[in-house]
Amino acid sequence: VLARNDREAAHNREHFQTEGIVAVNLMGSPGSGKTALLEATVRAMRGRHRLAAVSGDLATDHDGARLRSAGIPSLSITTGTACHLDARLVHDALHRLDAGPVDILFIENVGNLVCPAIYDLGQTANVVVLSVTEGEDKPLKYPVMFRKVDLVVVTKADLIPHLPGFRREVLDDAIRRTMPVPRALTVSSVTGEGVHAWVAWLDELRATRAAEAPER
């Protein structure tokens, strides 16, 4: 199953490279704030890049509808019983979405800290969203995910004042122990705090990849 997925992921990667698309695989627990972060991203980007999104969801089109309301081409990938996206599902959704030219494609994975990390989608970068209410030990408990990601986005920062037990240094230590190249940003999609740094990270990713792309 994984060998076939790898072939299909390679095909997606070719699509992304020839079409000049930076694809961000956004993973994280159910309710960690993935869709809210994308809504805040659309607001903060103010049309500077052409954005599009596909959202993995077992049963509903809620996230696709939220992101269309936010103003970008988007659809949900209904997985039924599967708790992760695979490369084929993403490929078929992109053909259905038909978004026209896209600079940054967000692939919002199914809410799950385990198996989305195992399936290559052909993405340019892997990001995990971890909200402050999930517990500072999550990188140590789900190391497979944290070993795979290029960036941790710590969300719901506006709630920290209500969490007397939250210890940032414990979270940072867990991130340092698991990520190959530790990198974390802290945001609140509600207040907008920190969203500029996330947008700057995306800009940098886009600039780096554009420089690597062959002349066309």
Ligand X SMILES: Nc1nc2c(ncn2[C@@H]2O[C@H](COP(=O)(O)OP(=O)(O)OP(=O)(O)O)[C@@H](O)[C@H]2O)c(=O)[nH]1
Residue numbers of the site for Mg ion (CB under 5 A)?
34-35, 63
Burial class (CB in 10 A: 0-12, 13-18, 19+), 159: middle
C-beta nearest to ligand X: residue: 111
Least distance in Å: CB of 193 to ligand X? 8
Report the relative pairing of strands 151-155 and 125-131 from DSSP bridges. parallel
Which is closer to ligand X, CB of 15 or CB of 68? 68
58 part of the interface to Zn ion, by CB under 5 A: no
Distance of CA 201 to the CA centre of its chain: 13
Write b or e for each residue in 7-25: b if 16 or more Cβ atoms lie within 10 A of its Cβ, otherwise e: ebbeebbebbbeeebbbbb
Q: Which two tokens stand for residue 142?
A: 């789900």
Least distance in Å: CB of 190 to ligand X? 4
From 58-66, 79-87, 97-105, 143-151, span contacting Zn ion (CB under 5 A): 79-87
Q: Rounded distance, CA 99 to CA 11, Å?
A: 18
Which of Zn ion, Mg ion, ligand X, none interacts with 84 (beta carbon under 5 to 8 A by kind)? Zn ion
Using alpha carbons only, give the angle 82, 111, 41 rounded to the nearest 5 degrees.
130
| Among the listed residues 110, 163, 109, the one whose alpha carbon sits nearest the alpha carbon of residue 136 | 163
Which positions lie near ligand X, rule CB under 6 A? 28, 30-36, 63, 111, 155-156, 158-159, 188-190
Distance of CA 144 to the CA centre of its chain: 16
Least distance in Å: CB of 183 to Zn ion? 25
Which is closer to ligand X, CB of 63 or CB of 103? 63
Which is closer to ligand X, CB of 45 or CB of 113? 113
Which is closer to ligand X, CB of 8 or CB of 202? 202
Least distance in Å: CB of 14 to ligand X? 28
List of residues contacting Zn ion (CB under 5 A) = 83-84, 115
